């Protein structure tokens, strides 16, 4: 009995850490530590690069990896999830910081964290799967394109006369500033990009991004090149994360920042759960989606309060963790601790990293996250409506922002889905059906009473398909209308109202109504609407044979009265 009532594993609000420690051993600890150290080395240049792409200080990316990474591993619903700053947030964070300031970012991230905790507590983790893949693919590619465009300035060493925020404005400014191209910066960028592309083919164990940083920094330093570095543009600090509270919190400010918070929460939820799914496939495990949402919410609140930026599960770092032997949340916690040690001990050397190298790293990040193969496959195989949703979402992400893109994409996808459902919904008389002799319920094998008309409805009865069945009856020279609903999986208020009007019209014309094989959800809706009282319980039949027999009884009673 307990097994029947137990909540599914993925619905438990219990951190995976508390489950896996029951069978933990020394061998696994060594593997987790090794994986954690390797992932930390990978996370170091990426966290700095993503912080700069987000328009914040380089150490803030490391704060995010430290605080959010540790909290997600401690509270999370996945065995191997690695969290930290990701490219998906770069353009969003940059826009908030530029237009509304750092305090707005902190408050937006805290609000997003609260939203994610609420989503997890309300068991909404499974709802993420209802976001169509075309929308996810579209905004992911759009974000990748936005990141790539945003890094062209540093890669080419351009000098802008303005500081554009919007992607379209950046493209215009790039074209205007081509005359300021710095050939030394371009050379460093090309060499860094070559290292990033070619190094993994030679020695995958050592992260290519770390090698690119070392090579790029050495070239600029030893050759005294006129190239911007992190140190020339930013003040570097090795101070550990410290508590920072947002100033001037008011109800009006919270209301104004809710759209930002919603965007961050949705994006963090989608990306973290996608990362969990990928990780599950790699290690044969199953994550707890709702606990993961709670953990991501806690992590984003913690990251914001300790100087970081929005965080989520990082698919590339999670995969690296798995490939290097990480199998428990201990690996993610070790990764955070190692990043903290690196921050305190080695951060001063980050000042030497050239900006073209940072740009090259982000080019590779954008390429890896773009999912261009998914777009190619969608264009080749998907219906035109899905392709339209993908490119509308992509275009709006680049031209406007993620809120507009996801909102428009969801509305468009929902309307197209309703059209498809409406297209397959139909209501017809049995005389219009060309049944096979092999069908045990074929019209050829049934005896329909003389003054009975049988209609069968196929597909969901909802507002978009109302015109398909609302006027199913054209003549009234009958005694009984039998409505067969075995192929109606669901019904909405408009569908219920349409059936109600049919029953009332039948009453006015002295026609009795019999329903056959009404499924659970439509039956529940019809009971609430009072159909049982109107039609009579005896006129709801479980099978067409029973329904036809009932129609015969009604006809006989009418004849006897006449």
Any domain includes 517: yes
Residue 310 contacts residue 107 (beta carbons within 8 Å): no
Average pLDDT over residues 542-552: 92
Output the pLDDT for position 475: 66
Strand partners, 484: 456, 516
Q: How far apart are CA 46 and CA 52, in angstroms?
A: 10
Domain annotation covers residue 198: no
Report yes or no on 15 lying in a domain.
Answer: no
pLDDT band at 516 (very low <50, low <70, confident <90, very high): very high
What is d(CA 211, CA 538) in angstroms, rounded to the nearest whole number? Answer: 79
Find the CATH number of the domain harbouring 482. 3.30.750.24
Residue 379 lies in a domain: no
Percent of the chain with pLDDT over 70: 90
Q: 3-state class of 342 per DSSP?
A: helix
Task: Tell me the Cα Rg of the chain.
Answer: 31
Instruction: Tell me the C-alpha distance between 251 and 84, whole Å.
Output: 29
List the beta bridge partners of residue 513.
481
Q: Is the pLDDT of residue 200 over 80?
A: no
Provide the 10 A C-beta neighbour count for residue 464.
Answer: 18
141 or 204, which is more confident: 141
Q: Which helix (H) or strand (E) holds 453?
A: strand 452-458
Pair 391, 342 in one domain: no
390 token code pair: 């993908």
343 and 481 in a common domain: no
Indicate the pTM of the whole model: 0.73
Both 306 and 290 in one domain: the answer is: yes
pLDDT at 430: 54
Residue-level pLDDT at 204: 66
| pLDDT higher than threshold 80 for residue 436 | no
Total domains in the chain come to: 3
Of the listed ranges 87-101, 189-203, 294-308, 416-430, the least confidently predicted one is 416-430
Is the separation of the CB atoms in 545 and 440 below 8 Å?
no
Instruction: Assess if residue 187 is contained within a domain.
Output: no
Domain boundary among 392, 424, 456: 424
d(CA 364, CA 209): 9
Of 424, 455, 473, the one marking the end of a domain is 424
* 107-111, 136-140, 170-174: range with lowest mean pLDDT: 136-140
- Least confident span in 95-104, 434-443, 485-494: 434-443
Residue 430, Cα to own-chain centre: how many angstroms?
Answer: 44
DSSP lists the bridge partners of residue 427 as 457
pLDDT over 70 (residue 6): no
Asked if the model's pLDDT at residue 79 lies above 50, the reply is: yes
Lowest mean pLDDT among 180-194, 422-436, 469-483, 536-550: 422-436
What CA–CA distance (Å, rounded) separates 221 from 218? 5
Check whether residue 148 and residue 277 sit in a common domain: yes
Query: 319 with 434, same domain?
Result: no
Q: What is the pLDDT of residue 3?
A: 40
Q: Which of 405, 424, 443 marks a domain boundary?
A: 424
User: Do 51 and 127 share a domain, yes or no?
Assistant: yes
Residues 417-427 have a mean pLDDT of 69
End-to-end Cα spacing for the chain = 58
Position 207 scores a pLDDT of 81
- Do 318 and 454 fall within a single domain? no
- Looking at residue 496, its pLDDT comes to 87
Whole-number pLDDT of residue 203: 66
- Tell me: do 102 and 92 sit in the same domain: yes
Give the structural domain span for 340. 26-176+268-348
Looking up tokens 């062209």, which residue turns up? 152
Helices 90-100/133-156 angle, 10° precision: 70
Structural domain includes residue 430: yes
pLDDT at 10: 45
* Res 442: pLDDT: 62
Enter the tokens of residue 170.
């950046």
Q: What is the pLDDT of residue 165?
A: 72
Contact indicator for 61, 85 with CB cutoff of 8 Å: yes
Per-residue tokens: 250: 């008011």
Query: Which range has the worst mean pLDDT, 3-17, 235-249, 333-347?
Result: 3-17
Both 158 and 302 in one domain: the answer is yes
CB 427 within 8 A of CB 457: yes
Task: Please indicate, yes or no, if residue 42 is contained in any of the structural domains.
Answer: yes
Q: Residues 518, 417: one domain?
A: no
Higher pLDDT, 244 or 156: 156
Residue 292's pLDDT is: 95
Do 55 and 165 reside in the same domain of the chain? Answer: yes
Q: Would you say residue 433 lies in a domain?
A: yes
pLDDT per position as a tens digit, 383-400: 788 889 899 989 998 888
Mark whether 450 and 526 lie in a shared domain. yes
């Amino acid at each position: 009995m307990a097994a029947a009532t137990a909540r599914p594993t993925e619905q438990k609000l219990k951190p995976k850490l508390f489950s896996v420690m029951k069978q933990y051993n020394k061998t696994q600890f060594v593997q987790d530590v090794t994986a954690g150290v390797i992932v930390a080395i990978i996370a170091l240049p990426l966290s700095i690069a993503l912080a700069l792409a987000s328009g914040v200080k380089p150490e803030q990316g490391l704060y995010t990896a430290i605080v959010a990474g540790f909290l997600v591993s401690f509270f999370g619903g996945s065995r191997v999830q690695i969290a930290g700053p990701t490219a998906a947030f770069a353009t969003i964070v940059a826009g908030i910081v530029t237009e509304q300031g750092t305090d707005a970012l902190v408050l937006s991230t805290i609000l997003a964290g609260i939203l994610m905790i609420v989503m997890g507590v309300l068991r909404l983790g499974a709802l993420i799967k209802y976001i169509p893949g075309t929308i996810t693919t579209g905004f992911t590619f759009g974000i990748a394109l936005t990141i790539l465009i945003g890094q062209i300035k540093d890669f080419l060493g351009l000098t802008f006369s303005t500081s554009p925020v919007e992607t379209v404005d950046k493209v215009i400014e790039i074209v205007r500033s081509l005359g300021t191209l710095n050939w030394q910066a371009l050379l460093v960028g090309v060499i860094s990009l070559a290292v990033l592309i070619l190094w993994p083919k030679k020695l995958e164990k050592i992260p290519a991004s770390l090698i690119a940083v070392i090579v790029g920094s050495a070239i600029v330093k030893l050759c005294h090149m006129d190239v911007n570095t992190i140190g020339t543009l930013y003040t570097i600090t090795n101070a550990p994360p410290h508590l920072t509270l947002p100033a001037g919190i008011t109800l009006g400010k919270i209301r104004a920042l809710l759209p930002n918070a919603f965007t961050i929460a949705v994006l963090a939820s989608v990306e973290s759960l996608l990362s969990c799914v990928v990780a599950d496939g790699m290690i044969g495990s199953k994550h707890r989606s709702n606990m993961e949402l709670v953990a991501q919410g806690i992590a984003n609140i913690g990251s914001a309060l300790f100087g970081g930026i929005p965080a989520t599960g990082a698919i590339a770092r999670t995969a690296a963790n798995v490939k290097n032997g990480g199998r428990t949340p201990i690996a993610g916690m070790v990764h955070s601790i190692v990043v903290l040690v690196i921050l305190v001990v080695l951060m001063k050397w980050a000042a030497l990293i050239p900006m073209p190298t940072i740009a090259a790293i982000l080019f590779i990040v954008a390429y890896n996250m773009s999912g261009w193969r998914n777009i190619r496959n969608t264009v080749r195989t998907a219906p035109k409506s899905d392709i339209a949703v993908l490119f509308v979402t992509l275009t709006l992400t680049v031209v406007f922002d993620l809120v507009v893109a996801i909102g428009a994409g969801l509305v468009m996808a929902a309307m197209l889905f309703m059209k498809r459902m409406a297209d397959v919904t139909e209501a017809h008389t049995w005389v219009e059906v060309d049944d096979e002799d092999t069908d045990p319920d074929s019209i050829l094998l049934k005896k329909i009473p003389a003054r009975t008309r049988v209609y069968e409805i196929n597909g969901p009865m909802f507002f978009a398909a109302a015109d398909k069945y609302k006027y199913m009856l054209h003549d009234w020279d009958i005694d009984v209308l039998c409505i067969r609903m075995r192929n109606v999986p669901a019904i909405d208020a408009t569908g219920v109202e349409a059936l109600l009007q049919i029953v009332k019209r039948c009453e006015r014309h002295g026609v009795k109504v019999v329903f056959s094989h009404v499924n659970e959800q439509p039956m529940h809706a019809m009971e609430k609407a009072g159909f049982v009282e109107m039609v009579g319980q005896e006129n709801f039949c479980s099978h067409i044979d029973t329904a036809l027999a009932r129609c015969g009884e009604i006809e006989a009673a009418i004849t006897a009265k006449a």
